[in-house]
Structures are given as C-alpha cells and as structure tokens.
Structure 1
Amino acid sequence: MNNKWFLHARYFLTWIFFFIGAKAFFLLYHFSRSSKLSGTEVSKIFIYGLRMDISFAGYLSIIPFLLLLVKAFFPQLNILKPIKYYTWFFIVLIALLTTVDLELYNAWGFRLDATPLQYLATPTEMAASSGNAPVLLLVGLFLLLSLLGFVLLRKLVPAIIFGAKSQLFFIIWSVWWFAFLIVPIRGGLQHIPINQSDVYFSDNIFANHAAVNLPWNVMYSLSKRNYENQNPYEYFPDSTAQRLVSELYKTPKTTALPKVLHKQQPNVLFIILESYTAKVVGCLGAGELSATPNLDKLAQEGILFNNIYASGDRSEKGLVALLSSYPVQTTTSIVKTPRKTEHLPHLNHVLEAQGYRSRFYYGGELAFANIKSYLLNAGYDHLISKFDFEAKDYNSKWGVHDHVLLQRVLQDLKEEKQPFFTTVFTLSSHEPYDVPMPAKFKGADETTRFRNSVYYTDYALGQFVEAAKKEPWWQNTLVILAADHGHRFPGDDPNDAPSKFRIPFILTGGAIAMQNQVISKVGSQTDIVPTVLAQLNLHEANYQWSKNLLDPQTQDFAFYVFNDGFGYITPQGAVTFDNVAKKIIRKDAQVSPKQIDYGKAYMQLSFKDFLAK
C-alpha cells in the first residue's frame, strides 16, 4: 500500500485521526463533565463530529492535493517537503488552538471561536483572564497533541517514490482527488453546506460542544464575525416578531409612579461591580456563601431589586446593557464596531444635556475589548484608567486594585462640581482573583479564590461609602450598584444557566427617600437606565428595549444571551434555547410555548436592530 496511489487517502486520514485524538483530549480534560455522559453519548460525539472532522480535513488537504496535481504534470518537482512543512505548521497551530480551548471552555462555556480576537489589542488583560490556568499541564498537552500529529503523519504518509510510469493515470487520479474535496468540505451532497447544527445531537450542550471540530469552528466564526446584513435568527415573519415584542412593552397608563428620591437633581454615582453573581450576595439569598456584608447593608439603606439578570456574560456587553439599555448580541458585540455604538443612546448623553459633569473610572486598560471607543462615543468628560495611576499602585495583573481606584474617586469627588455623573467599574473580582488582603475564606480552589475577591471588593466598597457619607455631596447623591455580569462560580454553572446570570441591582445613597425596600419584578440590565431616568423626570423615547422596574404595570421578564443561545425568564420560570441546534436546552414546567416565542421574537428583532445600527 506504500505507493503514490494511496498518498491522497493517507494524507486525508492523517487529519481525521488527528481530530479524533483532539476530541479525546477535550473529553479527558473535562472529565468531570464527560464522566456524566453515557457510553452511547460519548460514542455519538465521535460519530456525529466525524462529519465536521472530514470537512476540515478537506480544507487542509486543498494545498497538498494541489501540489500533488502539479507533481503529476511535472514529475521532476520535489513537492513532498513543502507538503511536510505545511502539515507540520498546521499540526502545531491546531494543537495550540486546542490547548487554549481546553481552558477557555472552563471560563467561557463555549468552544473557541472569533471572540478572543477582540481582546488581542490588550494581551496583558487577556493573559490575566487565564491566570488560574494549569500552565504546565497545558504545555504538556500541547506537546503531546503535536507529537500525536507528527507520529500520524510519519506512519500514514511515509516517503513516496514517484516513478515515470503511469503519469497519465496519476494526472487523472490527482485531478479526481482535488475535485472530490468539494464533497467533504461541504459535508456531503446536500443542498446546504455543513454547519454546527449538523453535529449537534443531544439535549446535553456539553456533548454537542464536544462534537464540534475546533479549527472548523474557528474558521467558520471568523468568516461570519462581521455580520453585515443577514439576520441568522429569523424565526418568524417580521410582522409577527414585531407584534410579540410590542406586547412585552405594552404598558397601561399608570396614574402615579412611586417616587423614591427626595432630591430634584441628584448627583448620580453608578458603581459597576465586576462578576458580582447573586450566588455570593447575602441579600439575594447566598446564605453561607455570602461575601458581601457591605453591599447587604447598602441594600437595607435603599431599594433592592432581587430578580434582575445580566444581559450577557462579558464585561463589554454588560456595559452597553447597563449604560445604553441595549440588548446584547450572541457571538458578536456592538462594542466591536464603533460606527454602531455612535448610534446608541447613553445615560451620559441625557444627563449631560441637564448640565451634569461626567467621569468614568476603571483600574485597567480601557482599550480592552474596544471599551474606550464606546465610552468616547458616550461623551464622558474624563476617562480615568490604569495609566492615570502611579506604577507603584499596579498591584494587580489587571491594573490597580479596587481600594486604590475608589480612593481616587473619593479624592476627585471632593473637587467635582455638582451635579455630577460618575461611573466606576471595579476589577479585582475578575480572574485571576488577585487581592491584597488576607483570605476571608479558607481554601485554594478557584471558587474560594473568587469568593475572597468578591469579599475584598465589598470591603473596599464599604470603606469608600463610610468615607463618602462624611462628604457634603453624599446627601445629594443617588448611588446605583449593579454587576456587569454574573459568574459560573459557585456551582460551576453551565453556560446557559439562569443562576449564572442573576445579579444584584440596588438604588441607595443620600438622595434615596425609601429604605429597606425590595422590588421583586423580573427585569434585566437594560431596564436600569429608564428606571433611574423616570425618577429624575427625564423620560426618553430612545430606550425602546427597556421598561421601568418601579412601574407595577410593566411586564415581568428578562432576556439574556450566551454564546449563540438565549434565555428568557418570567415569574412562571425560565427557558433557555440553543440557536444552533434550534432546540430548547432547559425549560421549567410552567413555561408556556408563548414564552418561548417571546424569546425567539426578542432574539430576532434585537439582532435585526443591531444590524441596522
């Protein structure tokens, strides 16, 4: 069998076996998840995933098969070395991508795609996100997977001797193989080329993710990342989707809404808390897992909204939902496209028109994930970031710790003209959970480190508030506290789980006239700005994707997205939906089909609006 007639097939099989090995690496690395799968499910991961493995093997075979075709016409050419070097390069590249994906899947809950590209401009911050990764283990796995590829290449594609005989037949043979590649690349002879949904087979989202061919997924995501004009989420005719979404925001006229402020034009201090999941917030029922005594105290001094959900799972997406009341996209983000964020409404635009002075504080780099362009489009008077602090205060891998940041805010507010609008975005509770105080909770596991980082930020917040209460501006200040997104810990929630997205939202401060109040309306980050503006008697028509959480007549619902899926929550329960497989992932017993339709319509129209921006 060791002759040129089998070279094409041998080369093709090398890639298929390599991808099968990469799948095995993924399952073994995530053994805590894969061990819960049945033997049938594990076998289906390889069987259903094989179609995508074959597809990407086809892509990788294009250049080698083209070189073999050239060799057929010009037998004297030495093309085996170029094929070998080409293959070595892609073995190493794919092994590297696979290794990176092993750990990123833990943090993000989806397979590697084009998402990390938006963070390449800030490699330090991207590295900090993986600060807890077992580097030595990952390096070892990278080398082992690369070795597997080299061994397969050597065993299956040994040196081939090309004789002068049968050149015409080898030309025909090579042309046939080159033309044949279109079939595996498309995933078969069906009308629609292969996509992710073709390898999804289970109600278990992890099993579906494991079946996906990683380099195919990256390539596909890169080709689709700049959505131009086609909406991939068209579940209904537009008129039907419009009717359903209109029903969500149809609100009977309310004669009188509760007034919670005793100041006409208060200062606004918006503190955005990194990764503050409800699962560690005491006033939201965290119990013994609570790490937030100071936040709990602030909730008692104001109004706690205890049924609020983040709109997405990344910081840059949370900022847009919190400050512009704009829905989050799934596999992309509007922050990536400054020309689109130019058309977004923003809390700062409204307050600036009323004479407010504005500042935005962040202890890290604002270039991260293109956040700076969004804030510049929002028109903040001053942006304060890592580079506005002395190097001696760079005691975190992200930048400066929260107590340093909040001390700077306190210092600046002593001189700030009123009314002011100040936004503060914390960072110390982000991975790698690096905090400058002794651990409150014992343990070295990642969940405990996360809880300790939340406790530290809560401590810094408490110190800040106690000092702020002594300042003359405090009594005229509304403080808004909300998280940018939730977190998978504690509990290591699946990527779609509602518990991962539930977050705190609190209105407090000296300007609040009500204390120890709890509002249980189901809502989202996108509802916060209109709720605040209504209390300031600043009603804006630009916030079409939001409702007033203090209006008892508005609908109880929250919509969020994860990677190519959405969740929709009402008092009846939660449903999560996979947009790729077009299947429900989880559904509470009381959830009606109409609730699922509302979620699909919201997904469809919000993405259509994003495309039109």
Structure 2
Amino acid sequence: MFLIYNFDLLHVESVTEFLKIQYHGLAFDTTAILYVNSLFLLMSFLPLFINTKKSYQKVLFYVYFVTNLIAYAINFVDFIYYKYNFSRTTIVVLDVVKHETDKGGMFFRFLIDYWHVFLLFVLTSSLWVYLYRKVNIAAVDRSKLTTKKNLIYVLQSLVVFCIVTVLTIGGIRGGDFKKSTRPINLVDANRHVQKIEQADLVLNSPFAFIRTFNANSFKKVGYEMDQAVVDKYVQPIKQYSNNPKSKPNIVLIITESLGREYLGAFNTEYNIPNYVSYTPFLDSLAGKSLIFPNAFANGSKSIHGMSSILSGIPSFKDAFTSSAYSKQEIQSLVSILNSEGYNSTFFHGAARGSMGFLGFSNILGFDSYLGREDYNNDDDFDGAWGIWDEPFLQYMKENIDDMETPFFTTVFTVSSHEPYVIPKKYEGKFPIGNVPMHQCVGYTDYAFKRFFEEAKKEPWFDNTIFIITADHGNQVYYKDMYYKPINRFTVPILIYKPDNSMAGVNMDLAQQIDIYPTVLDMIGYKKPFRSWGRSLVDSTDSTKPFTINYGSSHYQFQMGNYICIFDGKRAKGFYDISDKGLKNNLIGNKNAEMSQIENICKAYVKDYYDRIIDKKLSLKN
C-alpha cells in the first residue's frame, strides 16, 4: 500500500524489482516486529503458571494490540506524509508537531481529508483483531499437575525462553549473529537498492521511528581530517570587501512550501513540456530581480528552512533547532544586523510558538515577534494554520510603516500549505491547476502583489532590499522533473531592489545558507563572520558553488560536474550533475574531481558537527 500511494516517487519498474526490494525489507520488518512485540514476547514465554488463564490472555491481548496498532498506524501515516517529507517518519516528527496549539483540530482534519487511509487502517486492523481472536489457548489446570510435570514445564519453558531471546536478538540485529555486526539502522537499507529513493521501500515506518528514538545524531564524525584542510575546503570564516558600507532596509520573505516548480520565471531554462506557471506577479518581479533558478533547500521542513536561511545552519539527520545544541550563542543574520543598528522583527501569522519559530527567533535575537495573537482578528484566520497571507502581509506592511530605519523584517507565510484552501471571497479568482497546491500558490502570489502595491507608496520602499525564498517544496505535478531525488529540494531565491539594479539570471548552484552571507556582502559588512554558505553576489569568492542537504539516510552534495552521495563516512555514489534522478552511478570510474568533491563534502560535514558540538557558532567563542 505504501508503494501504491507513492508509486511516482519510488520508481519501481517491474514486479521482479518490487519482490527483490520486499525480500530485503523482511530483515527490517522482522526487526520492527521484534522491537514492538518485545513485551508481548516476554510475557508470553516466561515460565508463568498463569499464562493460559483467560484473564492473563486478555491482558496479553491488550498488550499486543496497543503496541502493534500504534506501530501499524505509523505506516499508514507515511502513505500520505511521505509525499511531503520524502523519507520515512522518524522521531523528529514529534519536534514538528509539539509546538502546534491545535493538535486535536489538525488530527481530525487529516482524518477527514485522508479518510481513505483511515478506512484502510480500520479495515485491516479489524481483520487482524478478528484473526487473533480465532486462536484459542487451551486452559491448563495446574493444580492437577504433579511436581515432576511442573518441573518439566519450567525447564522446557526456560529452554524455549532462551531460544526465543537469542532469536529475538538476532532478528533485531538483522539476522546476523556476528560479533562485529551492529543492529541494522536506516543507512543499511541503501545497501540493497540501486535507486537511492527505494531505500524507503526497503524500510518501514515503525523501524525508522524506533531506531531514531533517543538517537543523538549530533556527534563528531568518525574520520580524521586535518583542520587546515577543513579550513581550506570549507572557509568557515567569511569576510567581504566588495561593496561600500550601507544600511538599506531588509525584507526577507520565507514562503511556505513555494517549490521552484510553481514559478514560471524559474523554469524557463528547463524546457518542461506543457509547463504552466501559477505566479504571475512573482514572474513579473523576477524580470526586475536577480534570480537563482538552480537553488536548493538545505532541509525538508519549515524549521530547517528558518535556521538555514537566517543563521546559515542547515539540518541534516535531525533538526538543529530541536537539538540540545541550539541553545548557544549563534552568529547569524539577525545578530549581525542588530549589531549594525537594525531593528529586527519576525512575523508569522500562526499562533505563538507554532513550528518552534518563536523559540528559535528568541535564540537568534529578534527584537520582536508578531503573530496571530498580535494580529488580533480571527475573522481572518484560515481555520487551520494562521492568518491568511494577504491580510497578514498588509499587517506587516503597516507595522513596517511605523518602524525606525534601518529595519530587518522576516515573514514566514502560511497559506500555501495543506489543507489547500483559500479565502471564500477569492474562490474562482485563481486557476485551479492540476494539484490542490496550485490554487493556493496563486493566492499567495496575489498576496505578494498586494503587499508590493502598498509598500511602494511608502518612503522606506526605495531603500529596501527584498529577498523571497521558500522553506521547501510541496505537491508536485511535473513529476519527470521534480520527483527526481535531488530536485525534491528545489526552491526559488529572488533578490529585488526597487531601482532594478540587480536584474539578471544566475544559473550557478545556490542554497538557503547562501542568503545570510549574501545580505552581509550587499550591505558592505566588512568584519569576519561564521558562514558555511557563500555570497551569491561576489564573483571573486573562491568558494565553488555547491549545495548540501540530507536525504532519508545520506548527504547529497552537489559541486562542479558531479553529485556526491555520502553516507557519513565515505562516498557511496557519484552522478553527473545533470543526473538529478540519480540513475547512473559513476563511482566505478572515480576520477580526481570526484575524490576532491568527496573530501570537500567530508570537510563540510566534519566542520558542521565540530562547530555545533564545541559551541563555536559565534566568533566570540
């Protein structure tokens, strides 16, 4: 069923290929089943004289189904969630929902929207319970057994218990009893597939969830690399002197789920058959802006985007913002602009604390945070996430009108998102398109148009740099292009100055963590600062264009002529830079450029974990 719901993403081309994947998946299924049923097994095989009694069997019934149905449900969640997350659900999902104030409302909305998945779960679970009840356990009257028979029973039970324990340990380890073998984890799924995305079909969701429980991925790497080599490759301390010092206002717009696919101006270079754009205003603005149609997100979740864009800190296996290491001094776009005399405000139309934005904005040092409660008019509440984009952007504009200059404002929009609805007064105004997201994108594009129409009437407008990007993508229609594993991370990056002095198209690789150093370069900030990204407007920067993000169990590093797939220790694949579908692994013909790219990737990963763990995210440390 997971394959049926996500067929376009997993690229299984034959029954034979499917059966091979399922065969390798049995080890992961067995491990998950043994994890989930460990208590049930213990209670079933211990030599207890009451284990055949009806009352004890009833307890076992509830132990069995409470644990199993919870695990079972996680698989069903991924029938739908996988389309947005592009990986099996892990413990990280709890970090995503824990800050939401209306969890009950979200849950019931998802039940209604995806009723067919819920119905499948109920039907299959009911069949499971029915079949379980068909198994009868014969009750034994222990009072009629002799001492000898009781002793035999105990000894037999202990032998069986030991056998079951050994087999359980072997099953959890993946069926391997070798001393050198560790229990299988998510990375091991990649050993059995040629197409990296199919590792998620080998895996199952309970396994992914359990194996990441209490797992701390923020650990220093296991390989050695000289610090001088790391500094040479990564150049973690940036310093620019390209532009005279200035203090323009900065308006940074992080658009919810605005994948590159939806914007016509960002797709003209790709010749997609029968392509249709849903962003007429942004397309027109792009003609007056510097745009990067080859840009990528550094993560797959909203909070990943916030930390990547504002502080240049990507998230890989787990979200940096929900780790214990986020509570340290962080040099960021916010802290540096604050030190330069900017007033900084974060706008988010959702409830305070939603998505963890309030907590992280406080860590970064925003002077103020304005959300749904501050807007104070729930007539404009969308019923799901927050205030509709159009009125909230007008609210932001009105607040900006009263700000002292220079100011730095960041807004995180909410409307271009599931449940894919727009205000009733605009129904029929925007093209329905081919997927529900298209109409929402049209509405958010209109909200941007209204914001710019009003903003350009104000005296602060002409001395403002506007940057528009996204946290991640969303629903895909042009599957041949945007279902490719690498292109699932595509986002737009647009930089606009009202004097049109930046107009142009730059096809170099770009990423969210580049926005932070780019802004500092543009305003003529000449002091050294920490950054893993590079300035997108500095033609003299010796840092080669690159992108880095994390798939379900591997790092994806693009640079030069190749894409490097890195498992945290070594490269597992090299692909031509145009092979975004990762079809043709070239690692068998590894050349000097590939070796260098692997070393650069290793240097970035090492410096990332070293600086986070050693608390060196600020030059003061």
Paired AA for residue 293 in structure 1: P
- Larger CA deviation: 204-213 vs 418-427: 204-213
The aligned counterpart of 1:95 is: 72
CA distance in 2, matches of 1:338, 1:141: 38
Give the CA deviation at 1:209: 1.4
Change (3 A) 1:28 1:514: closer
Change (3 A) 1:246 1:137: same
Q: Does 1:333 align with 2:290?
A: no
The aligned counterpart of 1:136 is: 115
Q: Could you say what secondary structure the match of 2:505 adopts?
A: strand
Q: Which of 159, 164, 176 in structure 1 is aligned with 2:137? A: 159
Q: Which of 32, 36, 55 in structure 1 is aligned with 2:12? A: 36
The aligned counterpart of 2:24 is: 48
Paired AA for residue 35 in structure 2: Y
Q: How does 1:203-352 map to 2 (within 5 A)?
A: 203-224=194-215, 226-227=216-217, 230-231=219-220, 234=222, 236-239=223-226, 243=229, 246-249=232-235, 257=242, 259=243, 264-286=246-268, 288-326=275-313, 328-337=314-323, 340-352=326-338
CA distance in 1, matches of 2:383, 2:37: 46
The aligned counterpart of 2:177 is: 189
Change (3 A) 1:149 1:541: farther
> How many aligned residue pairs are there?
575
Q: Does 1:179 align with 2:155?
A: no
Give the CA deviation at 1:88: 2.2
The aligned counterpart of 2:507 is: 520
The aligned counterpart of 1:499 is: 487
Change (3 A) 1:354 1:455: same
Give the CA deviation at 1:533: 0.9
Paired AA for residue 545 in structure 2: D
CA distance in 2, matches of 1:394, 1:252: 42
CA distance in 1, matches of 2:44, 2:264: 66
CA distance in 2, matches of 1:250, 1:122: 35
CA distance in 2, matches of 1:132, 1:480: 37
Instruction: Kindly provide the CA deviation profile for residues 455-501 of structure 1, in whole angstroms up to 9, marking residues without a partner as x.
Output: 21111111111211111111221222222223452334777723222
The aligned counterpart of 1:556 is: 545
The alignment's C-alpha RMSD in Å is 3.2
TM-score w.r.t. length of structure 2: 0.83
Change (3 A) 1:26 1:133: farther
Change (3 A) 1:272 1:54: closer
The aligned counterpart of 1:536 is: 523
Change (3 A) 1:586 1:473: same
Instruction: Kindly provide the CA deviation profile for residues 194-217 of structure 1, in whole angstroms up to 9, marking residues without a partner as x.
Output: 223444411234432122233222
Q: Could you say what secondary structure the match of 1:85 adopts?
A: helix
CA distance in 1, matches of 2:256, 2:444: 9
Q: Does 1:607 align with 2:609?
A: yes
Q: Which of 555, 568, 584 in structure 2 is aligned with 1:566? A: 555
CA distance in 2, matches of 1:171, 1:269: 74
Change (3 A) 1:523 1:213: closer
CA distance in 2, matches of 1:319, 1:251: 21
Q: Which of 59, 62, 78 in structure 2 is aligned with 1:85? A: 62
- Larger CA deviation: 432-441 vs 110-119: 432-441
Q: Could you say what secondary structure the match of 2:291 adopts?
A: strand
CA distance in 1, matches of 2:302, 2:87: 16
Contact 1:335 1:371 (8 Å CA) reproduced = no
Q: Could you say what secondary structure the match of 2:501 adopts?
A: coil
Q: Which of 93, 115, 127 in structure 2 is aligned with 1:148? A: 127
Q: Could you say what secondary structure the match of 1:223 adopts?
A: coil
Contact 1:293 1:458 (8 Å CA) reproduced = yes
Q: Could you say what secondary structure the match of 1:158 adopts?
A: coil
The aligned counterpart of 2:344 is: 358
CA distance in 2, matches of 1:50, 1:42: 13
The aligned counterpart of 1:10 is: none
TM-score w.r.t. length of structure 1: 0.84
CA distance in 2, matches of 1:545, 1:409: 30
Q: Could you say what secondary structure the match of 2:294 adopts?
A: strand
Contact 1:272 1:481 (8 Å CA) reproduced = yes
Q: Could you say what secondary structure the match of 2:257 adopts?
A: coil
The aligned counterpart of 1:21 is: none
CA distance in 2, matches of 1:581, 1:82: 48
Change (3 A) 1:310 1:30: closer
Q: Does 1:594 align with 2:572?
A: no
Q: Does 1:467 align with 2:468?
A: no
**Gapped runs of 5+ residues in structure 1?**
1-24
Contact 1:496 1:567 (8 Å CA) reproduced = no
Give the CA deviation at 1:366: 4.1
Instruction: Kindly provide the CA deviation profile for residues 556-603 of structure 1, in whole angstroms up to 9, marking residues without a partner as x.
Output: 212222333222223424344566997338544797343244334323
CA distance in 2, matches of 1:582, 1:592: 9
Q: Could you say what secondary structure the match of 2:399 adopts?
A: helix
Q: How does 1:425-440 map to 2 (within 5 A)?
A: 425-436=412-423, 437-439=426-428
Give the CA deviation at 1:142: 0.9
Q: Could you say what secondary structure the match of 1:361 adopts?
A: strand
Q: How does 1:452-491 map to 2 (within 5 A)?
A: 452-487=439-474, 489-491=476-478
Identity across aligned pairs (percent)? Answer: 25
Contact 1:406 1:460 (8 Å CA) reproduced = yes
Instruction: Kindly provide the CA deviation profile for residues 134-160 of structure 1, in whole angstroms up to 9, marking residues without a partner as x.
Output: 5221121111221232244234x4223
- Larger CA deviation: 114-123 vs 455-464: 114-123
Instruction: Kindly provide the CA deviation profile for residues 383-424 of structure 1, in whole angstroms up to 9, marking residues without a partner as x.
Output: 111112211111352111111111101211222111111111
